[in-house]
Amino acid sequence: MSIFGQGEQSLVYLPAERAWLTPASCVWADAQRIGEKYGISTLYPELEDFFRSTLKVQVPTTETYIEQLRILASHDPENVAEIKTAIDKMVALSPRPNDLEGLHEIAFLTVEMPSGSVGLLRPTDTFFIADRIEYRSTFQGKVSILDFSLEEVRRLDRLLKSLSPEDRYISRIVQEKTMVEQPSSEPCLSETRAFRRKAKHIYRCALHYHTSNLELQSLQTLQQLRSAVVYESDGFKKVSTLRLNEIAASVQNDTGLVHIDDSNETLHIYIPRGQSDRQRCYCLVLPNALIRLFGLRDPAAFLTLQLVFASSENMIDHVLDGNGIIRISDEPQVSISSDSEDGDETYSLSDLEHTDNPQESYTPQSTPATVTELSSSSSSTDANNTVISNHSTPPSERSAEPYISEQPYIQLLEKVIRLARQVTLSQALRGPNAAQNNENLSNEPAFRLQGENQLEHDFKVGAAGELFIFELLLAELPGLNRTNWRSNIRKRVSVHPEYQDLTPWNGAETADIIYHDINSALTNILIDAGSLSNAQWQGARPTYYIEVKTTTGELETSFFMSKGQYRRMQRMQIWPSDGFPDEVYIVFRVYRLGRDSMRVQAYVDPESLRLQGRLTFTPETYSVCPNLA
């Protein structure tokens, strides 16, 4: 009789047990014991074909490991390492959810209790899964947490999701309430612009990952994102709360990095002042905050939003397209006007215009937007107080009788006009350099409009600087008039009696002042000031595109250029070999605004000055700083 027909015969020798075993009690595995079975692969590694094909020794199955876990769980948690090994082996078999039914009532999951001890719980018991380092440290000692490392949690993700009837992952169920401490009273203009330039891309993600996106399709969410206002803060409080079944725990700490207030249908976003914390905010915390704001459940939404904040503006759409994120079309009610020449994106500022009540001149629902470049602005103060121009339909003109609150600004305009009329443009251009003879300069304090919010203050400073240049040019350039002044913020000077009939400029804005120099008048002034070469430029009659950048500070203060201005500057670069150019780009830098020592510096052909190292441009932001060395 063949021994191979006797399945219950003891045919396998196990040296450790000094016993003969039946093939049915063995498995082809390297572990000594798996459940009730004995592993023999390490004993007879060269006889696999004999044992598996002839004696029909089986490899471990999901049921085998479930039985092993049942046995291990019946002992104290001292078998933690063996339990985790058995789980890993079982997961490697890629079991289906139905194969795991036998695990639901087995206490095999190692869990760290609030007391610090480690115990074994069933999948149906109450515990949490820490899938972020931050959450483990936050809730350790407060709730029961699965005693698995982050790598183990990731590796066992499918198993854990199959076993848990509720979502136990802390990152998905934690409720976080933030409070802002010591916020800035005025918005951060550059960060507001930065966020708004991302608005469409954030909306694409929200629409793509929202499980029921009907409420988002009205574009009200996009409108809300495009009108968001960003503030800075020195600190945040965060209360993190977990609730599951009978367990609830709340922890307050100072680790918050963002706060979003969406009251009154306007997003007010508070971010850290410090650059390091701000970077962490944009890379980690703000994407999560937006996910909660929009109620997104897909984990992929976090990574996609991270890409939005990490990508440069000209790459975001490509990145989103490459990840299959749905596209949207811009609707008319979410107006984005384009610069007629270069296609700059500029957002409506109509809500920021002066209202009937001067104390309510700032309306957060609409401010300009940009990521690292500024919106298509034509006037600016220094890098910390950048002025943007208005590309929206302005409200009706103000009354000729100014409000009392406008008197300080009227006094500034009066001084600007007086100083401009006391000197010629040539004299103003030859004024003292900020790097020279500082001891001889006026000690007047820098101008500041008290009681104005930062944005309106910057608008007015920019308009005053433009007025100074306009007055200087008006006295010397034949044919120059108000139609040459094409800035959208010029209307602010209409509070001055001499300019009360100045109507807003409603056309496309390609420069603050555009002048066709048919008589070479401006060319001769620039030659006289040393900004142009006499030999090369005598008799030239180009069209000048003049940008005015204004600061209350010194000449060396940085100023910003928009992306469109930067492109225009490069396009109009002067090449000596080409003869007289038809168009010349020039930046008039007004500095020390409002002081008796107020002066102007001309940067003719700033692209060439950049290449020569006389102007230093910061990549991406187009922050410009003159090199006075």
Distance (Å, whole) CA 367 – CA 546: 24
> Region 140-163: what's the mean pLDDT?
90
Whether the per-residue pLDDT at 389 is higher than 50: the answer is: no
Res 586: pLDDT: 96
Is 249 in a helix, a strand, or coil?
strand
Mean pLDDT of the chain: 79
- Through-space distance between the first and last CA atoms of the chain, rounded to whole angstroms: 105
Residue 507, classified by CB atoms within 10 Å of its CB into exposed (0-12), middle (13-18) or buried (19+), is exposed
Residue 453, classified by CB atoms within 10 Å of its CB into exposed (0-12), middle (13-18) or buried (19+), is middle
Cβ neighbours of residue 253 closer than 8 Å, sequence gap 6 or more? 138, 237, 238, 240
Amino acid at 295: G
Determine which of 110-124, 271-285, 301-315, 373-387 has the lowest per-residue pLDDT on average. 373-387
Distance (Å, whole) CA 414 – CA 428: 17
List pLDDT tens digits, range 230-247: 999 988 999 999 998 889
Distance (Å, whole) CA 276 – CA 505: 41
Distance (Å, whole) CA 269 – CA 195: 9
- Count of residues making up the chain: 629
- Residue 27's H or E segment, with its range, is strand 26-27
Whether the per-residue pLDDT at 603 is higher than 80: the answer is: yes
Res 80: pLDDT: 84
Contact 174, 248 (CB under 8 A): no
Whether the per-residue pLDDT at 550 is higher than 80: the answer is: yes
Res 215: pLDDT: 52
| DSSP letters for 350-397 | GGGS--SSGGG---TT-----SSSBPS-SEE-BTTS------S---PP
Alpha helices per DSSP H over 33-79: 48-49, 62-73
Q: What is the pTM of this model?
A: 0.48
Residue 356 confidence class, pLDDT cut points 50, 70, 90: very low
List pLDDT tens digits, range 97-145: 888 888 988 999 999 999 999 999 999 899 999 998 989 999 999 999 9
User: Buried b / exposed e across 48-60, counting CB within 10 Å, b at 16+?
Assistant: eeebeeebebeeb
Whether the per-residue pLDDT at 12 is higher than 80: the answer is: yes
DSSP state of 629: -
Residue 368 confidence class, pLDDT cut points 50, 70, 90: very low
- Would you put residue 361 in left (φ > 0), alpha (ψ -120 to 50) or beta? alpha
Tokens standing for residue 240:
């993190």
Whether the per-residue pLDDT at 432 is higher than 70: the answer is: no
Please give the share of the chain, as a percent, with pLDDT higher than 70: 78
List pLDDT tens digits, range 201-226: 999 999 888 866 545 555 678 888 88
Amino acid at 289: A
Distance (Å, whole) CA 91 – CA 101: 14
- Residue 203's H or E segment, with its range, is helix 199-209
Contact 561, 374 (CB under 8 A): yes
Distance (Å, whole) CA 192 – CA 368: 7
| DSSP letters for 90-158 | HHHT---GGGGGGGTT---EEEE-TTS-EEEE-TTS--BB--SHHHHHHHBTTB-EE---HHHHHHTHH
Please give the share of the chain, as a percent, with pLDDT higher than 90: 32
Residue 366 confidence class, pLDDT cut points 50, 70, 90: very low
> Region 409-426: what's the mean pLDDT?
91
- Residue 21's H or E segment, with its range, is strand 19-21
Determine which of 17-21, 248-252, 432-436, 591-595 has the lowest per-residue pLDDT on average. 432-436
Whether the per-residue pLDDT at 388 is higher than 50: the answer is: no
> Region 249-254: what's the mean pLDDT?
91
Cβ neighbours of residue 31 closer than 8 Å, sequence gap 6 or more? 39, 85, 89
Tokens standing for residue 576:
């000596």
Closest CA to 79 of 115, 25, 118: 118
Is 159 in a helix, a strand, or coil?
helix
Res 396: pLDDT: 38
List pLDDT tens digits, range 451-467: 566 777 888 999 999 99
Contact 104, 163 (CB under 8 A): yes
**Regarding beta strands 229-244 and 268-272, do their DSSP bridges make them parallel or antiparallel, or are they unpaired?**
parallel
Res 452: pLDDT: 62
Is 234 in a helix, a strand, or coil?
strand
User: Tokens 């004995």 sit at which residue?
Assistant: 38
